[in-house]
Each structure stands twice: as C-alpha cells, then as structure tokens.
Amino acid sequence: MSKIKCIIIEDEPLAAKVLKDYVSEVHFLQLQGVFKDAILAAEFLMKNETDLIFLDIHLPKLKGMAFLRTLANPPAVIVTTAYHQYAVEGFNLNVTDYLLKPFEFERFFTAVNKVNTDFNRKLADPRDFIFVNVQKRKVKIPFAEILYIESQKEYIKIVTTKAEYLSKMSTTEMEDLLPAHIFKRIHRSFIVSVHQIDAYTAEMVEIKGITIPVGRGYKDVIDKL
C-alpha cells in the first residue's frame, strides 16, 4: 500500500512536535520533513514531490496563504492555525481541511482520512475520461477533447473539440472531478484545459479563437502557466 508523503510547515516548536507525533501514529502517512518557514519548504518542493502539506498560517517571511497561492499544482493541504478568520480563504484555495489549534488526535485523524480517501480513489481510478449526465444519458467525454467548461446558472456547458454538452451540475462539482494538473479554474464561471490554450494575457486566454476572461482572483493561475 502506497503511503501518503507529507511535510509540516510550522514555526512553533511545540505545535510542530504535536503534529509530528500525530503523523507517527498514522500508518498511511510518511513524514518527509518539518520546516519552520515557507521559504525552506518551497526549496524542498523544488526538488521533491509531496502528497500533503500541514500548513500553519502565521509564518515568518511568507504567510501560509500567500505561500499556498505560489504553488502551481498544490498537493492536498490541511491548514493548522489558531485563527478561524482565514477559513473561507482557505477553502477558496481548495484546502482539504482547516484545523483550529489546539486540536485532538481524533480531529487530526478525521482530516487525514479525507486525504487518504481521495488519494486511494485517484490511485484506483487513473481514468482519462469522465461521464456526465446529458439529457438523461451518461455521456463519455475524454479529457483530451475538453476545451473549456462554462457555468450557466444551475448548468454547465462543456465545450469539446467535437461537440457541446449541457449538464445540470455546478462548476465546483465539475472541477472536483477533473485532474488538477490539466484543468485550471481561471474565472468563477470558467475552467479551461491548459493543453488547449493557444495564447493568453493577464486578462484573458484564447482557445480555438474563443476569448475567455480571467477573473480578478485567478490571475495567479495565469502567472504560473
């Protein structure tokens, strides 16, 4: 069974020790390192891959959320902090869970189990396609054919190289089903295939002659392309 590789970014020695002890109690976790600031962690990630980051928010040099926004393809992230006011921002950045210090092992285990479930699902299901509901049918759409997805109220429009499909689901639901290294959300209403982008600026991307706007809160996604 593959273990989930993880790192801890925490500047408080006691809090780091608690996390380190908790990790050692979970058989499916493998600790790669403990870092007292995000800069050291970033240097590690330039040469190594990890599956999970335990991330404190109030760090020296570079704050946790700012660090998270610098990651082009972030792994799973569990935020560990004493400050509840960053929860909304954290979930907007797709963190897996948000642990308020001090937290017991039971709460920690609940959070890492979420990561483990998703990790095993991806290992067991390396598909290159998705089935979506279209007019009471399940339609198979290969990832390689998808150009972009557009939100249309309670529906999404999936534009492919061959056809367009309307499916009753949210953009967020669709984003969760797509491989993150291929598909990027660049606007509240748009997800695009990185492989299909022909040109881009800070304000828009162009795919097969179609201009798609970049939302104000998603410009960092474009910067990382």
Q: Which domains does the chain have, with CATH numbers?
A: 4-124 (3.40.50.2300), 129-223 (2.40.50.1020)
Residue 125's pLDDT is: 62
Residue 179 and residue 192: Cα distance in Å, rounded? 12
- The string of pLDDT tens digits covering residues 82-103 is 877 766 666 677 788 999 999 9
pLDDT at 161 over 80: yes
Which pLDDT tens digit goes with each residue over 98-113? 999 999 999 999 999 9
State the pLDDT at residue 134. 93
pLDDT at 182 over 90: no
Q: Over the chain, what is the mean pLDDT?
A: 90
pLDDT in tens, 192-212: 999 899 999 989 999 999 999
Model-level pTM greater than 0.75? no
